[in-house]
Structure 1
Amino acid sequence: MSDTHSHSVAFVRTETIPQSAPPITAAGPLKWGRDNLFATPANGILTLVALFAIYFVLSATVPWMLNGVWDAGSLSECREILAGTKGACFAVLVDRWDQLIFGYSYPADEYWRPTLAFVLMLVAIAPVLFFDLPRKLLIVTGLFPFVAFWLIWGGTIWTPIFALVGFVVGYFVYARFVTQSFAIGFFGGIAAAMVTWWISGFIVPTLTPEEPFLSSIPSRDLGGYMLNMMLGVTCVSLSLPLGIALALGRQSSMPLIKYLCVIFIEFIRGVPLITLLFVASVMLSYFFPPERTVDLFIRVVIMITMFSSAYIAEVIRGGLAALPKGQYEAADSLGLDYAQAMRLIILPQALKISIPGIVNIAVGLFKDTTLVSVISMFDIIGMIRGPILASTDWAGLYWELFLFACAVFFVVCYGISQYSQWLERRLATDHR
């Protein structure tokens, strides 16, 4: 009886059962493939077609790249080394590397100057892109444009110094009038900086030493990917504040400011960029006195900046329109003036909304810098289409050169895109 009673007592486990792995069809690669690639018959067909297309492309390009020749002095020598087999002639990138990066005429013994300017640029943009860094580093950001100008162009150091003085004067004018209107303060600051720069044109020649520390290099000697980077960084940096001013000016209650901004934005948006580049190359110099000829690089920067600022203004205006009216009323209830309300409440929210549109314009603008090749500025595309393909050594070689141009542009544009996505996630505070 005791045996019967002992068998009737329920069994209670004293330890937990070890966790078992999920079935192979419920987790891992098989589940991911079933959910994402073969969820429906239509998705399965599209997956198979895409895999066939990828195989077709890779089966032709991978052997061509792996058989590439990196050490040769000409296209004919590459073909002799390949001996009838299919392969790329990457030797052109090694042979013309300096021209692809720095241009055709930039002095070879001065390559360290733009290289140093590029390294300093990475340091200068760090506190702007990653706002967790100490704010004191913004001093480096503010001084970088003037240092980079002197490094790349050389000549007397008084030119960037007076340019810095002009911006300081413009800032004080902006701080004086911004309480009345952001647009008046902004454009007044620009006008003050330009007047100071014009006055410095009469002073700098009297201070220029006979032998400057850095030799002067004219803008016509700039070229290669360096020229694309200079145009992209300069125009994006200038067009963003100008676009903000235009967006605010278009919403201004002052009729003159409002309609000037509207006319500017609508006119620039209705004109192709290549037309503005031809204007910069041919016509813009007629607006200046003969003895005060403006450099072609500066004229191109002016036109590209005007073009991109008009589009950025509309993107930011969309961000301003997306804000509820209560945000403006909240700023008024706190007793903030116009400049304080825009700087502390309105613009931070509007710019956060406008990040995708601004990044889209920045990426497009950076790629559009290749259009300067049509006005005889030898950027990386101009170098490929001009001196490199015109030489007898590499005539008829296209794929390797243009793939290299695509690769360097992709690296920068993809980096901008990834940063914008990180910034959006960092600023996504709506639902916290």
Structure 2
Amino acid sequence: MNTHQATFVRTSMIEGSAPPVAEGGIVHWLRENLFATPKDAVLTIVSLLALAWLVPPAIQWLFIDAAWTGGGRGVCATVAQGGSQPDGWSGACWAFVNAKLDQFAYGRYPLDERWRPTLVGILFVLFLIPMLIPKAPFKGINAILLFAVLPIISLILLPGGWFGLTYVETPLWGGLMVTLILSFVGIAVSLPLGILLALGRRSHMPVIKMLCTAFIELVRGIPLITVLFMASVMLPLFLPQGVTFDKFLRALIGVSFFASAYMAEVVRGGLQAIPKGQYEGADSLGLSFWQKMNLIVLPQALKLVIPGIVNTFIGLFKDTSLVSIIGMFDLLGIVRFNFTDANWASSVTPISGLIFAGFIFWLFCFGMSRYSGFMERVLDTAHKR
């Protein structure tokens, strides 16, 4: 008797099963990131307790009990202090920030002429955004507009005195406008100058190497406040009689040179990280020194040190507040200057203004940091398949 062995062939794939609860979802994330070990669990619980203790009072002070509108110190002072708030009240005085917002942005720039820095700011944003988008076309034209055309427009509009525009002296400039101008000029000058200084320090020509090394070590060895003080107070003493420079221009030069010294060391670290074979390969192709640097070495070196470059930019942006030592009022300086306004004198006005200034600085620095991370991911092609 013949027997036939029954067989079965599946005609469709088995549907994928969901991962076990312990290996996926929120439970898995909590176990891996917050409660992986007893030590992690203790730190997580302590951190949550600290947040539960600190965050609600902070929200209460910053938003719920805050004074948002008003026209004087009365809205930010208690009845016992001559204001309208009940005794024992404590909250942020955002009415002060709202009333002084124009000064925080423009300083003491004349009201009728503030359209000029506003126009420059709009052009800056319009020219900058395409430069920050990797796939945006016409990068060359955009770079010319941002780094060549915009400075010329700014030089005409901001100080004035050209084409019938009223002249506005730089001591009247202030606020966020000064912070952004100092930062942009410092960044635009320090990166190329820092690259040249880094190449000079690695040069085989003794004189070039000695001069670049001396400049870098001298500038890095003194604080920025000393550089600004020297540029503002000591520099005029060495100039011929009747020759002087605008104080704001001195600050721009001092900040740019100071940042370029630090930038040079960041770039030098990237140059030293490039394998020797890259240099030898470029030489074997018969490339000149500048061709080798522009086409082979620098693109790789700058990609490696993006975090260091952006860190220098962030430090430069925050260090602009030191220009107050030479009588210039950046964002922080103009905020502190307005504390002297008797119409807004209260116990919560200073801390409210400082929190606002700190938030603006954090916003710009956090933006630069996030963009740095984005560019690192875009340029990280070494291990992509």
Structure 2 distance, partners of 1:78, 1:320, is: 55
Deviations 1:26-80 (A, max 9, x none): 3211111111101111000000111111111211111112221111122223334
Counterpart in the other structure of 1:392: 342
Alignment of 1:228-247 (within 5 A): 228-247=179-198
- Secondary structure at the aligned position of 2:74 is classed as helix
Specify the code of the residue in structure 1 equivalent to 2:156.
W
> Do structure 1's residue 147 and structure 2's residue 150 form an aligned pair?
no
Task: Assess if the C-alpha contact under 8 Å between 1:127 and 1:138 holds in 2.
Answer: no
Counterpart in the other structure of 2:204: 253
> Do structure 1's residue 123 and structure 2's residue 129 form an aligned pair?
no
Counterpart in the other structure of 2:382: 430
Alignment of 1:416-427 (within 5 A): 416-427=368-379
Give the one of 40, 58, 64 matched to 2:37: 40
Counterpart in the other structure of 1:109: 112
Counterpart in the other structure of 2:80: none
For residue 327 of structure 1, report the CA deviation from its aligned partner: 1.1
Counterpart in the other structure of 1:63: 60
For residue 82 of structure 1, report the CA deviation from its aligned partner: 3.5
Counterpart in the other structure of 1:171: none
In terms of mean alpha carbon deviation, does 77-86 or 106-115 score higher? 77-86
For residue 250 of structure 1, report the CA deviation from its aligned partner: 0.9
Specify the code of the residue in structure 2 equivalent to 1:375.
I
Structure 1 distance, partners of 2:187, 2:201, is: 21
Task: Assess if the C-alpha contact under 8 Å between 2:195 and 2:263 holds in 1.
Answer: yes
Counterpart in the other structure of 1:75: 73
TM-score by length of 2: 0.91
In terms of mean alpha carbon deviation, does 285-294 or 238-247 score higher? 285-294
Specify the code of the residue in structure 2 equivalent to 1:419.
Y
Counterpart in the other structure of 1:368: 319
Q: Which runs of 5+ in 2 are unaligned?
A: 78-82
Structure 1 distance, partners of 2:219, 2:201, is: 14
In terms of mean alpha carbon deviation, does 123-132 or 56-65 score higher? 123-132
Structure 2 distance, partners of 1:129, 1:10, is: 63
The root-mean-square deviation of aligned C-alpha atoms, in Å, is 2.0
> Do structure 1's residue 356 and structure 2's residue 301 form an aligned pair?
no
Q: Give the 3 Å change call, closer, same or farther, for CA 12–261 of structure 1 in structure 2.
A: closer
In terms of mean alpha carbon deviation, does 306-315 or 70-79 score higher? 70-79
Q: Give the 3 Å change call, closer, same or farther, for CA 81–29 of structure 1 in structure 2.
A: farther
Structure 2 distance, partners of 1:257, 1:413, is: 35
For residue 92 of structure 1, report the CA deviation from its aligned partner: 0.3
Counterpart in the other structure of 1:405: 357
- Secondary structure at the aligned position of 1:38 is classed as coil
Alignment of 1:280-295 (within 5 A): 280-295=231-246
Q: Give the 3 Å change call, closer, same or farther, for CA 360–404 of structure 1 in structure 2.
A: same
> Do structure 1's residue 330 and structure 2's residue 281 form an aligned pair?
yes
Specify the code of the residue in structure 1 equivalent to 2:121.
F
Q: Give the 3 Å change call, closer, same or farther, for CA 281–332 of structure 1 in structure 2.
A: same
Q: Give the 3 Å change call, closer, same or farther, for CA 263–13 of structure 1 in structure 2.
A: closer
- Secondary structure at the aligned position of 1:292 is classed as coil
Counterpart in the other structure of 1:138: 143
For residue 24 of structure 1, report the CA deviation from its aligned partner: 3.3
Structure 2 distance, partners of 1:251, 1:321, is: 9
In terms of mean alpha carbon deviation, does 284-293 or 213-222 score higher? 284-293
For residue 314 of structure 1, report the CA deviation from its aligned partner: 0.8
For residue 10 of structure 1, report the CA deviation from its aligned partner: 7.2
Identical columns (%): 45
Q: Which has the higher contact order (CA 8 A, sep 6+)?
A: 2
For residue 147 of structure 1, report the CA deviation from its aligned partner: 0.8
Counterpart in the other structure of 1:176: none
Task: Assess if the C-alpha contact under 8 Å between 2:200 and 2:208 holds in 1.
Answer: yes
For residue 19 of structure 1, report the CA deviation from its aligned partner: 4.7
Structure 1 distance, partners of 2:333, 2:76, is: 24
Task: Assess if the C-alpha contact under 8 Å between 1:223 and 1:379 holds in 2.
Answer: yes
Structure 2 distance, partners of 1:138, 1:127, is: 9
TM-score by length of 1: 0.81
For residue 384 of structure 1, report the CA deviation from its aligned partner: 2.2
Counterpart in the other structure of 1:344: 295
Counterpart in the other structure of 2:171: 220
For residue 290 of structure 1, report the CA deviation from its aligned partner: 3.5
Structure 2 distance, partners of 1:111, 1:121, is: 16
Deviations 1:321-367 (A, max 9, x none): 11111111111111111111111111111111121111111100100
Structure 2 distance, partners of 1:301, 1:38, is: 50
Structure 1 distance, partners of 2:319, 2:370, is: 20
For residue 95 of structure 1, report the CA deviation from its aligned partner: 0.8
Deviations 1:202-227 (A, max 9, x none): xxxxxxxxxx3321111111001111
Structure 1 distance, partners of 2:195, 2:100, is: 41
